[in-house]
């Protein structure tokens, strides 16, 4: 179910439950642990020599932590948002989620709404329908500076960077962090990973 959006996943889980309620035995091959946790009454888990069996919540918890093993934290959840510029709708019923550790790309043609989605998540535009949650907290009505302080994405137009040098752009990502030394440390790590960015620290952006 990795390719399904949250609504489709819920519908698939409900269908599995209905089939099981008919008295049928099901064998499910699935790597989305949230789904396995949701539909299973008992799990058997082998980790090396360890063999655990029982209710899902007990089997997948580690001894040192109450956090569920393999259950990812949903960082960003966009629920059926619709956005308009003035009175003209430009986005209708957009839903997606981003889990901790995931790499998610929004791909589309020019004017498909990619930038509008990012601007809406950043608080520069507010949806007239739907909701946005960051780490479980509603942010669809929050101001951009409050969203940035929480660590959520920052959207800026290209015009903001025309006079910016090579270090100012990545430094913008740390604008919500108060510890200047930690920001500088992160910049140095980034320049180590991407040496070509390091050589462009003082280079002005092209118009």
Q: Tens of pLDDT along the chain (207 residues)? A: 767 777 888 888 888 888 888 888 777 777 777 777 778 777 776 655 666 677 766 666 555 444 444 556 788 999 999 999 999 999 999 998 888 777 778 888 888 888 899 999 989 999 999 999 998 899 999 988 888 877 766 555 444 444 444 454 454 555 556 677 777 887 788 778 777 776 666 666 555
Residues 203 and 163: their CA atoms lie apart, in Å, by: 10
Q: Which two tokens stand for residue 58?
A: 């007990």
Residues 83 and 139: their CA atoms lie apart, in Å, by: 15
For residue 110, what are the contacts with CB-CB under 8 A and spacing of at least 6? none
Single pTM value for the model: 0.52
Residues 130 and 77: their CA atoms lie apart, in Å, by: 11
Where in the chain is CATH 3.40.50.300?
Answer: 72-155
176 phi and psi, to 5 degrees? -90, 0
Separation of CA 103 from chain center: 8
Residue 61 has a pLDDT of 58
Residues 16 and 3: their CA atoms lie apart, in Å, by: 17
Fold of 72-155: Rossmann fold (3.40.50)
DSSP state of 77: E
Secondary element (H or E) of residue 84: strand 74-85
Residues 19 and 129: their CA atoms lie apart, in Å, by: 34
Q: If you write DSSP's letter for every residue of 150-169 in order, what string do you get?
A: TT------GGGGTT-BTTHH
Separation of CA 62 from chain center: 25
Residues 70 and 60: their CA atoms lie apart, in Å, by: 8
- Contacts of 3-7 spanning 24+ positions with Cβ under 8 A: 5/95, 5/96, 5/97, 6/77, 6/79, 6/95, 6/96, 6/97, 7/95
In angstroms, the Cα distances linking 165 to 27, 178, 181 are 57, 22, 20
């Amino acid at each position: 179910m990795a390719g399904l959006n949250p609504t489709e996943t819920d519908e698939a889980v409900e269908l599995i439950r209905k089939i099981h309620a008919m008295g049928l035995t099901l064998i499910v091959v699935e790597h989305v642990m949230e789904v396995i946790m949701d539909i299973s009454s008992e799990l058997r888990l082998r980790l090396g020599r360890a063999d655990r069996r029982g209710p899902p919540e007990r089997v997948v918890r580690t001894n040192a932590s109450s956090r569920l093993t393999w259950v990812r934290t949903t960082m960003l959840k966009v629920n059926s948002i619709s956005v308009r510029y003035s009175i003209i709708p430009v986005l209708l019923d957009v839903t997606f989620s981003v889990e901790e550790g995931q790499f998610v790309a929004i791909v589309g043609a020019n004017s498909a709404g990619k930038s509008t989605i990012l601007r809406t998540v950043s608080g520069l535009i507010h949806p007239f329908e739907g909701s946005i949650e960051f780490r479980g907290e509603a942010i669809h009505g929050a101001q951009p500076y409050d969203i940035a302080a929480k660590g959520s994405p920052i959207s800026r137009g290209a015009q903001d960077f025309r006079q910016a040098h090579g270090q100012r752009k990545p430094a913008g990502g740390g604008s919500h962090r108060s510890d200047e030394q930690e920001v500088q440390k992160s910049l140095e790590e980034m320049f180590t990973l991407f040496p070509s960015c390091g050589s462009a620290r003082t280079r002005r952006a092209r118009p």
